[in-house]
């Protein structure tokens, strides 16, 4: 019996391409829609706090960050915004980019514009960028290299009508994977997206080696982070038993350990990807019910549509086609959507013919080189991300003790390609903290200007940490970093003194204040009252 090594190698190559380098175009389209919705969610949540974080009347004015940058190399066009109306103009640009990405109009341009907007929004607050912002930015980066507008998009509708403005939807310059059908696409971008998600869970699991994860108390302590916990989390922690804490802690850890092999398995790919999607949604839905984690929960879930097996879309189409009523409804809806899109296109390009003309030999040559340029670019991005992965995760240092050069570190911060994955690791936090301000007004009242904005649903806390404060993830990050960074205290000082400008009452003029860092130790399982409350004065006025 002879073995045809060439045939074996060819099958292995095709298997590798199928599993790691290709994705179903319908899955990429679903991923585009999910990601655009998360981007809009992120934008709205920042918009309601625009004065606090994106203007010079806020807690971190642009001149403060330019004089004392949190990172040496940072990009954000919001550094040009000093006043509210200037920041609003930037937010409008972001809203337009995200909306065009959602509907898939000029999708490639919308992808690039959305990436620039994400880098700018997050780069302005890179001082306390958190894991949710990082994973959302990485999702935006890797999908920028993928054709997410071939299905369920305005571009796709216009391409079927012969419009010349939809290169994203036209398959001519982006051939399908040979032998895998015309609904699959091959790129290093798929490889990067797949391994990115797998590494997030792998290093988060590897780094969780502390006592709270080993003894099963981690979830109990996480639920006692009053700056993060939701009302449901408060309800759950009051019913926490050792058995329930052990079950929730260890099941979370098991899910994190299981996701990398499920995402990367070359066998039973369809079933492994299905199970991975279910586990990711379960895990992060649990996080979302219990903790205010900002973008982290929706962004992680937004990764999953990109991994839906193409066979599942085929099965869904067959199921849908079995009902004539569903088919008629879908046809009417599709016809109406197409009509609206075509009317809008006619208004935007009045009198313009939709006939596609020959762009010329130079343009055709450039189009033929687009795939190669794309793959080279994504390859360079992978190199930067891989270097940061080895540098930022201490578990990787057991394999190779790698540290980035200044040039590589600059590329990482410019692109927000951070790769440090250690959420609640190596231990869950066993203490909580808050910033409290004891300010005296001109008429003798004591107020807390900071917590009136950070926790508007909670009375001024004084020297304590209120239960379930409902703090946004931006305030949470600010409180985590500012107490140990006195170079940013002057901005907080000036912001507190502007209290009457925000309230519009002359009697709210501040004549003195003290700023404290308040801490306490979370109670062990079976107890509800925090221990060892303590506070340290950060600074005072006068």
Q: Is 19 helix (H, G, I), strand (E, B) or coil?
A: helix
321, 233: one domain: no
Last residue of a domain, which of 386, 415, 444?
A: 415
Average pLDDT over residues 372-390: 92
Average pLDDT over residues 289-314: 93
Q: Is-contact 206 193, C-beta < 8 A? A: no
Q: Provide the pLDDT for residue 354.
A: 45
Q: Is-contact 388 408, C-beta < 8 A? A: yes
The pLDDT-based confidence of 398 (bands split at 50, 70, 90) is confident
Q: How many domains does the chain have?
A: 3
Domain of residue 230 covers 23-175+186-308+360-415
Q: Does pTM top 0.85 for this prediction?
A: yes
117, 192: one domain: yes
**Domain assignment present for 393:** yes
Average pLDDT over residues 290-309: 94
**Domain assignment present for 516:** yes
266, 382: one domain: yes
The pLDDT-based confidence of 446 (bands split at 50, 70, 90) is very high
How does DSSP assign 206-244, residue by residue? HH--SHHHHTT-HHHHHTT-TTTB-HHHHHHHTT--HHH
Sort strands 431-441 and 510-521 into parallel, antiparallel or unpaired: antiparallel
**Domain assignment present for 452:** yes
271, 157: one domain: yes
202, 343: one domain: no
78, 191: one domain: yes
Tokens of 516: 């404290």
Q: Provide the pLDDT for residue 353.
A: 46
Cα dist. 423→24, 206, 253, 277, 389 in Å? Answer: 31, 11, 12, 20, 15
Q: Is 136 helix (H, G, I), strand (E, B) or coil?
A: helix
Q: Provide the pLDDT for residue 346.
A: 62
Give tens-digit pLDDT for 71-80. Answer: 888 889 999 9
Q: Provide the pLDDT for residue 173.
A: 42
Strand partners, 447: 439
How long, in residues, is the chain? 542
Please give the share of the chain, as a percent, with pLDDT higher than 90.
60
**Domain assignment present for 164:** yes
Tokens of 463: 């020297």
Average pLDDT over residues 21-50: 95
Average pLDDT over residues 505-525: 93
393, 472: one domain: no
444, 325: one domain: no
Last residue of a domain, which of 387, 415, 443?
A: 415
**Domain assignment present for 78:** yes
CA–CA dist 511, 493 (Å, integer): 12
Last residue of a domain, which of 324, 348, 372?
A: 348
Give tens-digit pLDDT for 215-242. Answer: 999 999 999 998 889 889 999 999 999 9
Nearest residue to 165 (alpha-carbon basis) of 110, 102, 95 = 110
**Domain assignment present for 426:** no
Q: Provide the pLDDT for residue 165.
A: 46
Q: Provide the pLDDT for residue 172.
A: 41
**Domain assignment present for 158:** yes
477, 411: one domain: no
Average pLDDT over residues 368-379: 83
Q: Provide the pLDDT for residue 127.
A: 87
Q: Provide the pLDDT for residue 190.
A: 94
Average pLDDT over residues 245-271: 95
- Which residues, at least 6 apart from 516, have a Cβ–Cβ distance to it below 8 Å? 435, 436, 437, 438, 463, 535, 536, 537, 538
**Domain assignment present for 48:** yes
Give tens-digit pLDDT for 447-491. Answer: 999 988 888 777 666 677 777 666 788 888 899 899 999 999 999
Give tens-digit pLDDT for 159-202. Answer: 776 544 444 554 444 444 444 457 889 999 999 999 999 999 99
The pLDDT-based confidence of 367 (bands split at 50, 70, 90) is low
Average pLDDT over residues 32-50: 95
50, 163: one domain: yes
376, 287: one domain: yes
451, 336: one domain: no
Cα dist. 83→51, 63, 80 in Å? Answer: 8, 12, 9
- pLDDT over 80 (residue 361): no
């Amino acid at each position: 019996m002879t073995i045809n090594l060439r045939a074996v190698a060819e099958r292995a190559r095709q298997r590798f391409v199928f599993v790691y380098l290709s994705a179903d175009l319908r899955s990429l389209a679903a991923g585009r829609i999910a990601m655009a919705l998360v981007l809009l969610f992120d934008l709205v949540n920042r918009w309601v706090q625009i004065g606090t974080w994106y203007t010079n009347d806020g807690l971190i004015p642009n001149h403060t960050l330019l004089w004392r940058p949190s990172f040496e190399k940072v990009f954000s066009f919001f550094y040009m915004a000093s006043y509210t109306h200037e920041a609003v103009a930037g937010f409008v640009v972001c809203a337009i980019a995200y909306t065009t990405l959602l509907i898939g109009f000029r999708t490639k341009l919308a992808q690039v514009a959305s990436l620039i907007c994400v880098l700018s929004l997050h780069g302005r607050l890179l001082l306390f960028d958190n894991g949710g912002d990082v994973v959302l930015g990485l999702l935006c980066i890797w999908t920028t290299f993928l054709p997410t507008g071939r299905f369920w998009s305005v571009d796709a509708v216009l391409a079927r009508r012969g419009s010349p403005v939809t290169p994203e939807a036209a398959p001519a310059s982006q051939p399908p994977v040979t032998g895998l059908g015309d609904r699959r696409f091959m790129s290093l971008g798929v490889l990067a997206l797949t391994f990115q998600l797998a590494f997030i869970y792998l290093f988060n699991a590897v780094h969780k080696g502390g006592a709270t994860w080993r003894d099963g108390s981690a979830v109990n302590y996480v639920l006692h982070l009053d700056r993060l916990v939701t009302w449901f989390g408060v309800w759950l922690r009051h019913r926490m038993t050792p058995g329930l804490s052990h079950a929730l802690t260890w099941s979370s850890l098991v899910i994190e350990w299981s996701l990398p092999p499920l995402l990367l398995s070359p066998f039973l790919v369809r079933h492994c990807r299905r199970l991975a999607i279910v586990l990711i949604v379960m895990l992060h839905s649990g996080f979302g019910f219990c903790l205010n984690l900002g973008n982290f929960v929706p962004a992680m879930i937004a990764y999953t549509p990109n991994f839906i097996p193409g066979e599942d879309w085929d099965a869904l189409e067959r199921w849908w086609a079995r009902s004539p009523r569903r088919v008629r409804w879908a046809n009417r809806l599709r016809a109406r959507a197409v009509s609206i899109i075509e009317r809008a296109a006619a208004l935007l390009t009045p009198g313009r013919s939709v006939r596609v003309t020959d762009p010329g030999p130079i343009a055709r040559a450039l189009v033929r080189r687009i795939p190669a340029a794309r793959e080279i670019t994504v390859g360079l991005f992978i190199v930067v991300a891989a270097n940061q992965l080895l540098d930022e995760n201490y578990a990787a240092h057991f394999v190779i003790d790698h540290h980035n050069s200044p040039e590589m570190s600059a590329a990482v911060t410019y692109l927000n390609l951070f790769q440090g994955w250690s959420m609640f690791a190596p231990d869950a936090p066993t203490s909580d903290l808050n910033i409290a301000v004891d300010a005296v007004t001109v008429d003798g009242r004591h107020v807390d200007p900071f917590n009136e904005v950070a926790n508007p649903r909670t009375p001024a806390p004084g020297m304590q940490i209120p239960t379930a404060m409902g703090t946004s993830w931006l305030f949470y990050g600010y409180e985590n970093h500012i107490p140990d960074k006195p170079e940013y205290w002057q901005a907080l000082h000036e912001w507190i003194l502007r209290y009457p400008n925000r309230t519009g009452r002359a009697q709210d003029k501040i004549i003195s204040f003290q700023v404290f860092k308040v801490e306490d130790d979370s109670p062990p399982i079976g107890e509800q009252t925090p221990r060892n409350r303590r506070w340290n004065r950060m600074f005072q006025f006068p």
